[in-house]
Amino acid sequence: MAARKTPEKDLTEAAERAEEAAAEERRVAQARKTRRQIWSRSRSTVLAKVLEAKARLGDEHVAIIEPEGREITYKDLVRGAFALGGAFKRFTKRGENVGIMLPTSAGGIIALLGLYVDGRVPAMLNFTAGEKALLSAIETAKIRTVLTSRKFIEVGGLEGLADALSAHVEIRYLEDIKDGLSGRNKLRAALGEKFPALMRRPLGPDTPAVILFTSGTEGAPKGVVLSHQNIVANVEQVRGHVDLEDTDIVFNPLPIFHSYGLTAGCFFPLIDGRPLVPYPSPLHVKLIPEVIKKTGATIIFATDTFLHRYLRSGKEGSLSSLRYAVCGAEKVRDETRNLARRLFGFSVLEGYGATECSPVLAVNQPGDIRPGTVGKLLPGVEPRLEAVEGLASGGRLFVRGPNVMAGYLDPDGSGRINPPEGGWHDTGDVVSIDGGGYVAIKGRVKRFAKISGEMISLAVVENCASVVWPESVHAAVTLPDEKKGEQIVLLTEEPNPSREALLDWAQSHGVPELSVPKRVLHVDDIPLLGTGKVDYVRLNQEAERLIAEAEAEKAAAE
């Protein structure tokens, strides 16, 4: 017989429910207040925020430290922007989309700010994407002029690409523009640094600040338009989420054609007032640890793949100045965290975001690293989860907030911007959010395999492989299967991989056998995009080729 409730117990439960409801009401009220504050602080432009930092910190405060050690102050930075801004007026129009094909460098950053002086819109071109992708971006964004550097083209071996693009756009070299600066340009630079409000044509916070093109990890890149408010809001959200020290120095080797390298790696330190060390390529795995040591950088922005390689190649003490590495764009492996802690004594913070969100949505906080999560959503980000068929937990994440893009460029080349419906962006990611607000990424909707009616996360497959072969890089793809609908194929840099090793580990750790790939194939290198993400389009093609070759050899032998 069930126990009868007493009046006292009824009152206690009612009081608990009332307290829970009151707590939830306070949480919702606080969230609304925070969103209003972020919105208010973000009603500005990128250049205005940099000018605010200059006024707050002083003319001689160091803004940029170049890899060779030369320091650029806020005074130098602003003067350079006004000088280039005046020169850009000769061959561009207000509101025009201007292509940027430059590395992460002081020159690249000053060129961006120079475009903002008189209201031009930088369109960031991914020079690693190839001629076809760049021509598509140029057509979509209606680009007439591309800014680049002779030294960059020469060092990068991009002469052929520059020649191909020059048939469609006018190529302008920063070296020539600097050599051709007139006395009027230099006077405007001096006056602009002293009286910026009088010498620039201000923009509204809702005007486009940058056009970025998605990485194309799983398909054709899309043109993403971020407003000035979007970028400034994301900077303010990060500032409100992670406290840095006055002595911190930021090292950024990530490309500025990627939103993570642009907003988090460049605009965030410049607006927050932390000296920035921009480095032109994340691929220099032996040089980067030495530059970090030379500049005394304390924070690095990276991806897991790149950071793991820096840790492996760094000499004793070369990365010891680092306090944190902030990694995004892909999952951080336990092996990377352990290496950073054991070899150099710093922690790895994992972040999560999307180009369409300027890009950061969530990140671990120092002292609050919850294993298996990317921390809490940034202040002002409003989430919505929708159920995914075949998945018992989590949901497809939609987000809304001041950092969510103005919209996608219409691919027809009309220049029309298609905003997200109702302000909600569909991330395409499956996540779970626990009672404490911690976000765990289950995988992309497109990166689940449906096998015998069950949904299997390819991220779980890759994680299992990382445990079995922690020294190697792995990536999983799906291919059609006549019997089960789809099959999982793992490609790995492990020299002698075997499916049996993965199966044994899975069986001993309670992982379903469906999560063990049907095939395990060795490749010399997992193909990466310029952003450091795995190029799954090329990987699928490689898997199909290797399987076709294996089946042809088998047929010939029979």
**DSSP assignment string, 330-374:** SPPPHHHHHHIIIII--EEEEEEE-GGGSSEEEE-BTTB--TTS-
By the 10 Å C-beta count (0-12 exposed, 13-18 middle, 19+ buried), 482 is classed as exposed
Query: What are the average pLDDT values for consecutive 10-residue runs of the chain, which has 558 residues?
Result: 63 75 70 78 94 97 97 98 95 96 97 96 93 91 97 95 96 96 90 84 91 69 93 94 91 95 96 97 95 97 93 94 92 90 95 94 90 91 88 88 96 87 93 92 76 74 87 85 79 90 86 84 84 79 86 77
CA-nearest of 303, 318, 212, 305 to 254 is: 303
* Contact in structure between 502 and 533 (CB atoms under 8 Å): no
Residues 121-136 pLDDT 10s: 999 999 988 898 899 9
DSSP strand E in 107-159: where?
121-124, 145-148
The domain 46-442 is placed in CATH, from the list 3.40.50.2300, 3.40.50.12780, 3.40.50.1000, 1.20.990.10, at: 3.40.50.12780
pLDDT for 236: 95
d(CA 440, CA 405): 23
Annotated domain spans of the chain:
46-442, 452-557
Q: What is d(CA 68, CA 71) in angstroms, rounded to the nearest whole number?
A: 9
Q: Under a CB-based contact definition with an 8 Å cutoff, are residues 518 and 489 in contact?
A: yes
Measured CA to CA, the distance from residue 349 to residue 365 in angstroms comes to: 7
CATH class of the domain defined by 452-557 = alpha beta
Give Cα separations from 513 to 455, 458, 499, 508 (angstroms). Answer: 13, 13, 11, 11
Q: Which residue has the tokens 């607006």?
A: 271
The pTM for the full model equals: 0.82
> Which H or E run includes 449?
strand 448-451
The helix/strand/coil state of 316 is coil
The pLDDT of residue 339? 94
| Phi-psi region at 216: left, alpha or beta (left = phi > 0; alpha = psi -120 to 50) | left
Token readout for 359 is 């890009």
Return the exposure string of 225-251: e unless at least 16 CB atoms fall within 10 Å of the residue's CB, then b.
bbbbbbbbbbbbbbbebbebeeebbbb
**Distance between CA atoms of 347 and 304, rounded to whole angstroms?**
13
User: Which region holds residue 335: left if phi is over 0, alpha if psi is between -120 and 50, else beta?
Assistant: alpha
Closest to 284 (Cα-Cα) out of 472, 67, 524: 67
Strands 474-481 and 376-377, bridge-based pairing:
unpaired
